[in-house]
Structure 1
């Protein structure tokens, strides 16, 4: 998917032999088992959004910042058991926006760099809003009514229904609806009933500025904060809910070890992700200790 190597970075513990590898959160063989990671991003969320669009509308999105997100729809869905496997094999690091995992005896880094490589999202610095631009923005007529009329609250589900039923026919509006749905339900999910954020709706008035905004950095920060706030006690709970685009963790590991693709597929239900199917066997391939 990407030509750049994800683990050969200057500050990798493998490269800097003089530095010892950080201690693991759980000793080898003592990791919590029988639990999984739940994510607010539903299985097949990207595909369901794309199914509501015309081919030319999908092609338009592919040509911009969300292009790689569209491609991710063809990859294995999120596996809660695999994510559980990774999180229980974290290394203790002090950096707020960086995590390391021990996989097959080797440390693998998950940082903004890796997130950007697997998602293709803009991850630059957040733009500074000048006072002049801020005053102009405040003075402008809100864009929300142009998209959703008098509705005060709009859910992602209702947006997809309008797209699917062709209630909205204007191509530009349909593309904006789909981008907002991707943003709320794929990149920045924080609840099961996702709603369109007014601030995001205002930002999409200028589609070029919208695509240029570092949504990747925002999504990464949300995910990383959700991961970092959990210590050993929290990671030992039966279920762990993670906000943000948790699938990125899986994408990074599969990119580093392509052979994992088939294994990850085996841990997922054929139609639902672990986050949606509580009937899946918690003692699966990534949740079972083996006696050696």
Structure 2
């Protein structure tokens, strides 16, 4: 049996915070107001605007992270579920999201495109650093429809795919890249998001346990709370694909769709508490499915 990084005896209640869901709803609402939603639903990001009702479960993701085991590949995360070793990698993330995973352009290539800094000058006073909250404000107050679309795309990448807090700075060049929308959609945002998610998945859960223990005597809710960055729902979608009992309990399949995030609808009023999730992940006969790599590999862009 692989050794858990956090032994079962040291497991503790907790939940993950992912901010991207509210940001996506905010973008959808603004796009709908200005007649941009159908355009978004026809874009290379369409799966995020077409996906069925989804409830992010910070409890489920926390329970998965408690079951991490060592991996020899630094670009993957491995879990021990029931009696099975399970892998979450860029391949699984790609199958879930359908995002672009081609090579990053070099700084010289970006520079050679002579991308416009008009948005930075017009909406951010040519600032050297721009916070996500500033992008959100410009998105809400802008009256130029085409600029609202471009600002919304930037907000989507940094606020949904990266899920950073409003006080944090975005990658400034994104405001230049989006001026060429066609080029923007060809950028490998899948790698961009996965890199941030992988870093969050590598979070030191032993340290989280120590933080939890330090608060035992405080008059606070006895639960560890921490943030996840990157597109954290991908981990949840992967769990539905990989662990059949979890899918049966929590979601309804809408068919064999690609990307896989389009395949699942949450059951209404379903309980996502530890008492429901943890026993499924502990079952010795848990049905783990190797994640469709042989079927869907042709869809991945690497």
Asked whether the equivalents of residues 184 and 195 of structure 1 are also in contact (C-alpha less than 8 Å), the reply is no
Q: d(CA) in 2 for partners of 1:148 and 1:111?
A: 38
Distance 1:47 1:285, change over 3 A: same
Q: Which of 261, 265, 285 matches 2:276?
A: 285
- Which blocks of at least 5 consecutive residues in structure 2 are unaligned? 212-223, 252-265, 284-302
Asked whether the equivalents of residues 76 and 90 of structure 2 are also in contact (C-alpha less than 8 Å), the reply is yes
Q: d(CA) in 2 for partners of 1:38 and 1:210?
A: 28
Asked whether the equivalents of residues 144 and 201 of structure 1 are also in contact (C-alpha less than 8 Å), the reply is yes
Q: d(CA) in 2 for partners of 1:32 and 1:223?
A: 22
Moved over 6 A (4+): none
Instruction: Kindly state the Cα deviation for residue 154 of structure 1 after the two structures are TM-superposed.
Output: 5.6
Q: CA RMSD in A?
A: 3.4
Q: Deviations over 1:212-266 (max 9, x none)?
A: 0001101101111222242534455433322222121111112333323257963
- Counterpart of 2:187? 213
- Counterpart of 1:24? 4
Instruction: Kindly state the Cα deviation for residue 60 of structure 1 after the two structures are TM-superposed.
Output: 1.9
Q: Deviations over 1:72-102 (max 9, x none)?
A: 4x33222111111000011211211101223
Q: d(CA) in 2 for partners of 1:95 and 1:125?
A: 20
- Which blocks of at least 5 consecutive residues in structure 1 are unaligned? 1-20, 269-281
Report how many aligned residue pairs link the two structures: 250
Q: d(CA) in 2 for partners of 1:130 and 1:182?
A: 26
Q: Which of 125, 139, 151 matches 1:150?
A: 125
Q: TM-score, normalised by structure 2?
A: 0.69
Higher relative contact order, chain-length normalized (CA < 8 Å, sep 6+)? 1
Q: Secondary structure at the match of 2:30?
A: coil
Higher helix share: 2
- Counterpart of 2:14? 35
Asked whether the equivalents of residues 4 and 68 of structure 2 are also in contact (C-alpha less than 8 Å), the reply is yes
Alignment of 1:114-133 (within 5 A): 114-130=92-108
- Counterpart of 1:251? 237
Q: Deviations over 1:7-46 (max 9, x none)?
A: xxxxxxxxxxxxxx7433234x43512222233x254321
- Counterpart of 2:144? 169
Q: TM-score, normalised by structure 1?
A: 0.71
Q: Which of 10, 21, 41 matches 1:62?
A: 41
Q: d(CA) in 2 for partners of 1:69 and 1:134?
A: 30
Distance 1:206 1:217, change over 3 A: same
